[in-house]
Amino acid sequence: MDFVQLLPWAIFGMVIVGVIALISKLSSDQSRATARLDELRNPHLRNNPEEAASASTLLEKAAPTLSKALAPKSELEENQLKVKLANAGYNGENAPSIFLSLKVAIGILGVVLGSGIGFYKYGLTQNGWTSMIIAGGIGFYLPSIVLALLCKGRIERIFLSLPDALDLLVVCVEAGLGLDAAMRRVSEELEETSPDVCSEFALCNLQLQMGRPRREVLHDLGIRSGVDDMRALAAILIQADKFGSSIAQALRVQSDSMRVKRSQMAEEQAAMTAVKMIFPLVLFIFPGIFVVLVGPAAIMMINGLLSS
């Protein structure tokens, strides 16, 4: 093998060595203060230093450093990222840094794989560099695509299960329970059938128990869920709590409006069914019917013409 054939392998090896060195540096760079904080969080680690070293994962250690390059430049961008992660169900304090570090890590992995495959197959040509860039771009944007899909699925699940949870909440409030107790009851009863709504109600109860004002908790509930009906519900509850009106009546009005909205959406989907069925009818069903109906007549005409 000459130098031109060995050069792609040399570049690939240098990239691998650099990534391994970076990972080892990030995993071993833990100060004594960080170790002491880990011991304070978990007292069981004080007598087990080896367990303390393996308690936090490599990604959690490397997240602040990896995400520093992609850190939001303004408070607005940071809040938008937190809201998007909360819509997907990730409400942890370290969720933004872990998400950004995942983008960097998967992007680096894509560059490594793309460079290895591209340089091995095409050498140091334009196609080889293009393969590396495309693989790195796919790895970089893959977490964002997955996050968008998770947000869409969770918002749809909350939207479909919210009317049932709201009906049960109305029953609990009209039975004499307060709003906090009613939300706790709903989160316990619908935990298996509607886990997303129940997790939101349970988080609201936890925040209320910690002493946060109810207005802020309900406002965060509407923003965190990402569902318009949940925002409307939070606004109605805030107004009812502010002016002292009946919460049960407000919940019942919201429940009725949500039922009407769901029935209207079902009617809209049913009305669109006839238009959507035109394409499969024309492409798949009509050709079969045409062959069955016209085929025998065409065969008879061909036989008549041949016999004559």
Would you place residue 86 in the very low, low, confident or very high pLDDT band (cuts 50, 70, 90)?
confident
Would you place residue 20 in the very low, low, confident or very high pLDDT band (cuts 50, 70, 90)?
low
Token representation of residue 82:
């937190």
The pLDDT of residue 52: 41
Indicate whether 221 belongs to any domain.
yes
Number of domains making up the chain: 1
The pLDDT of residue 54: 44
Indicate whether 201 belongs to any domain.
yes
pLDDT tens, position by position, 270-297: 888 888 888 888 888 888 888 888 888 8
pLDDT tens, position by position, 212-234: 888 888 888 888 888 888 888 88
The whole model's pTM is what? 0.66
Would you place residue 17 in the very low, low, confident or very high pLDDT band (cuts 50, 70, 90)?
low
Buried/exposed 198-219: b ≥16 CB within 10 Å, e otherwise: bbbbbbbbebbeeeeebeebbb
Q: What is the DSSP letter of 175?
A: T
The pLDDT of residue 6: 53
Buried/exposed 149-164: b ≥16 CB within 10 Å, e otherwise: ebbeebbebbbebbbe
Indicate whether 202 belongs to any domain.
yes
The pLDDT of residue 248: 79
For residue 23, which of 71, 69, 57, 52 has the smallest C-alpha distance?
Answer: 57
Would you place residue 13 in the very low, low, confident or very high pLDDT band (cuts 50, 70, 90)?
low
The pLDDT of residue 291: 83
Q: Find the domain containing 225 and state its range.
A: 155-263
At residue 4, does pLDDT exceed 60?
Answer: no
Q: Which has more pLDDT, 144 or 9?
A: 144
* CA distance readout (Å), 150 to 85, 103, 157, 238: 9, 16, 11, 29
**Average pLDDT along the chain:** 76
Indicate whether 275 belongs to any domain.
no
Contact between 215 and 236 under an 8 Å Cβ cutoff? The reply is no
Would you place residue 34 in the very low, low, confident or very high pLDDT band (cuts 50, 70, 90)?
low
Token representation of residue 295:
């085929």
- Concatenating the DSSP letter of every residue in 17-83 gives HHHHHHHHHHHH---HHHHHHHHHH-GGGSS-HHHHHHHS-HHHHHHHHHTTTT--SSHHHHHHHHH
The pLDDT of residue 252: 82
Indicate whether 165 belongs to any domain.
yes
pLDDT tens, position by position, 94-116: 778 888 888 888 888 888 787 77
Indicate whether 176 belongs to any domain.
yes
pLDDT tens, position by position, 43-71: 444 455 444 444 345 555 555 556 666 67
Indicate whether 232 belongs to any domain.
yes
Indicate whether 190 belongs to any domain.
yes
Q: Which has more pLDDT, 28 or 197?
A: 197
Would you place residue 127 in the very low, low, confident or very high pLDDT band (cuts 50, 70, 90)?
confident
